Structure 1
């Protein structure tokens, strides 16, 4: 049962303090108090709280210690990466959110109002003066954390707080989708890139074979992370297709394995790689991105991303008059809206017909160096030999 105590505060005003104490076997297991100006209001609050605490599980929920958002984010990062490494952008964004004032907000206080306030702060000069697209990205990554916080770990996170905040922010024009890119590499830019990378191969034969990676990205339409995950065992020789593991998908990333057709050019590049390990392109995805970005800067090629090669590859297939289902069999897209973002046509016909670089890229030797298991180790040698067997 609760009690109401009348007292005077420092300014001499009358206050009524309603106090609730719950006992189990003579021991106080929970207590809570609140002060009010009127006795009737104090009694109404006490009656309502006693009824709430009588509900199944309510006492455990009320007794739990509140947890700040930064702790929830840290747990998400730790447990997610046990399954698969996070992308650099997502990890950096979540870590940055943890360092802001929002990271100190307790789980039970993470309301739609707090999220709207955070978005307004980010757009302000004090919060970095970012664009609406950046705010949208912040909330998208944070939404992934909030989506699992309650059902997976029992944190008191409002399940509709993010969706409510997004509705408000969209009406205010404070969140938007990322700008659709229409950038494709020109033949002149590819000439410069490939010439530079082949010169690098002459000096450092065991470096990442960027010419093969670049050409494979264009003709296969694969993302850089997907390229580095492809294994020899993932190939289907009869169908000329590859199993793309954990293909990017908004609703399912882990375990979203999709069979994709490989056009002839991509298949020939892939078959030109040495069959000396499990992965066909045993390179680090971040290293590929860094090498591409660094070389573009050196050659003064403006605003070209490695991912633009995928745009180029998908657009090329449409320029060759492939229909949507056939293009989707290569790119892995599931709907036209997603595919449309990658389609920017420059004409009709195959822009890479009789491309002189293709033959040189296919014929180029590859040295994997330390990326290949040592044959001196019997255990690793047996594993390598097993992977060299023909795929059924």
Structure 2
């Protein structure tokens, strides 16, 4: 509802509508009324942009949201990397004036530098999250949703392809042979690799595993903050240490962490070994795939495998069931 007041020979219009509160001063009452009617109409259509709101840039929103994430310990390396790219490409723009064309231009620019469609799909997903946060206080539109259909049609974004890569027995043996001979200050890579396969644990979970989180009586490990689509923090789950994993664990030196090494150092060591052994397109995360597939090959049911891998959605676990044909012989003999 607009109100008009006279002050010192000038007319001031006040508009309070749908959470917006704005005022302006005019020489005549008729001009104040006309301005108030126009602003109310813009607010009703969702087109009003106050000067204060228009001054807020996407970079400011990123800064504010990062503080929120830091306070709740919900930051991730992937998300922070995406924010850095968004800050560089769109950070100077007004968040309330951001358009689908701005998003399209940013994605085209990033694609031209070699960034893949799956990475860009994730990046604009993070942008959408930022705009949702900004929308709590500002009249922000939905440019990501508006841009997505054209981005898909132009093949600039895409869902990530599900990897089905599994290491062969020969590849694993070549890696173990490579690590058998010390090369300076080496990590216990054979133990880490075999533990990753036996437990289907992610690399980040392996390097965070503490001796205090091991149940020696039940042979269980507590995975803290296990990956979750919406609520990772506090999502602590126990997993059984099956097969060789328990013996590998007991061979490690005692301290606070079972594997007290930086995840990046392990990743680099794994890539370096694969290159030295002429093993193509093998990622450390593929070891989790290998571990889950071995559990299926051993005859475990999907609900039993899920206790180890911690998949909540069994549909996503089905991609690990690409069993090796020769494994069926062993299953039939049981």
Q: Is residue 2:277 matched to residue 1:284?
A: no
User: Which digits, 9 at most, give the CA deviation of each residue in 1:7-38, with x for residues without a partner?
Assistant: xxxxxxxxxxxx98447xxxxx84389xxxxx
CA contact (8 A) 2:200 2:291 kept: yes
CA distance in 2, matches of 1:221, 1:32: 67
Q: Which residue of 2 aligns with 1:200?
A: 182
Q: Which residue of 2 aligns with 1:228?
A: 207
CA contact (8 A) 1:93 1:141 kept: yes
User: Which digits, 9 at most, give the CA deviation of each residue in 1:261-282, with x for residues without a partner?
Assistant: 221321221122122x222111
Q: Is residue 2:270 matched to residue 1:255?
A: no
Q: Which residue of 2 aligns with 1:379?
A: none
Q: Which residue of 2 aligns with 1:68?
A: 57
Pick closer, same or farther for the CA change 1:240–1:314 going to 2, 3 Å.
same
For the aligned residue pairs, the C-alpha RMSD in angstroms reads 3.6
User: Alpha-carbon deviation of 1:44?
Assistant: 5.9
Pick closer, same or farther for the CA change 1:252–1:51 going to 2, 3 Å.
same
User: Alpha-carbon deviation of 1:95?
Assistant: 0.9
Q: Which residue of 2 aligns with 1:47?
A: 37
User: Which digits, 9 at most, give the CA deviation of each residue in 1:176-223, with x for residues without a partner?
Assistant: 21111111111222122122223127x43xx42111111110010000
2:69 to 80, 83, 99: 80
Q: Which residue of 1 aligns with 2:285?
A: 307
CA contact (8 A) 1:321 1:349 kept: no
Report matched runs for 1:313-332 at 5 Å: 313-332=291-310
Aligned pairs, how many? 310
Q: Which residue of 2 aligns with 1:215?
A: 194
Q: Is residue 2:163 matched to residue 1:181?
A: yes
Of the two, which has the highest radius of gyration?
Answer: 1
1:136 to 112, 121, 124: 121
CA distance in 2, matches of 1:103, 1:280: 41
Q: Which residue of 2 aligns with 1:8?
A: none
User: Alpha-carbon deviation of 1:312?
Assistant: 0.6
Q: TM-score, normalised by structure 2?
A: 0.78
CA distance in 2, matches of 1:301, 1:86: 33
Pick closer, same or farther for the CA change 1:97–1:317 going to 2, 3 Å.
same
User: Which digits, 9 at most, give the CA deviation of each residue in 1:207-250, with x for residues without a partner?
Assistant: 42111111110010000001111112222334432221111222
Q: TM-score, normalised by structure 1?
A: 0.68
CA distance in 2, matches of 1:223, 1:350: 27
CA contact (8 A) 1:30 1:63 kept: no
Extract unaligned runs of 5+ from structure 2: 5-9, 15-21, 330-334
User: Alpha-carbon deviation of 1:329?
Assistant: 0.3
Q: Which stretch has the larger CA shift, 186-195 or 302-311?
A: 186-195
Q: Is residue 2:274 matched to residue 1:296?
A: yes
CA contact (8 A) 1:319 1:347 kept: no
User: Which digits, 9 at most, give the CA deviation of each residue in 1:128-177, with x for residues without a partner?
Assistant: 354432321221233343343444xx35543x443444355445554221
User: Which digits, 9 at most, give the CA deviation of each residue in 1:45-87, with x for residues without a partner?
Assistant: 6413157789xxx99x764562221232234345434554854
Q: Is residue 2:91 matched to residue 1:98?
A: no
CA contact (8 A) 2:118 2:157 kept: yes
SS in 2 for 1:334: coil
CA contact (8 A) 1:218 1:312 kept: yes
Pick closer, same or farther for the CA change 1:117–1:328 going to 2, 3 Å.
same
Extract unaligned runs of 5+ from structure 1: 3-18, 24-28, 34-39, 352-392
CA contact (8 A) 2:55 2:94 kept: yes
SS in 1 for 2:91: helix
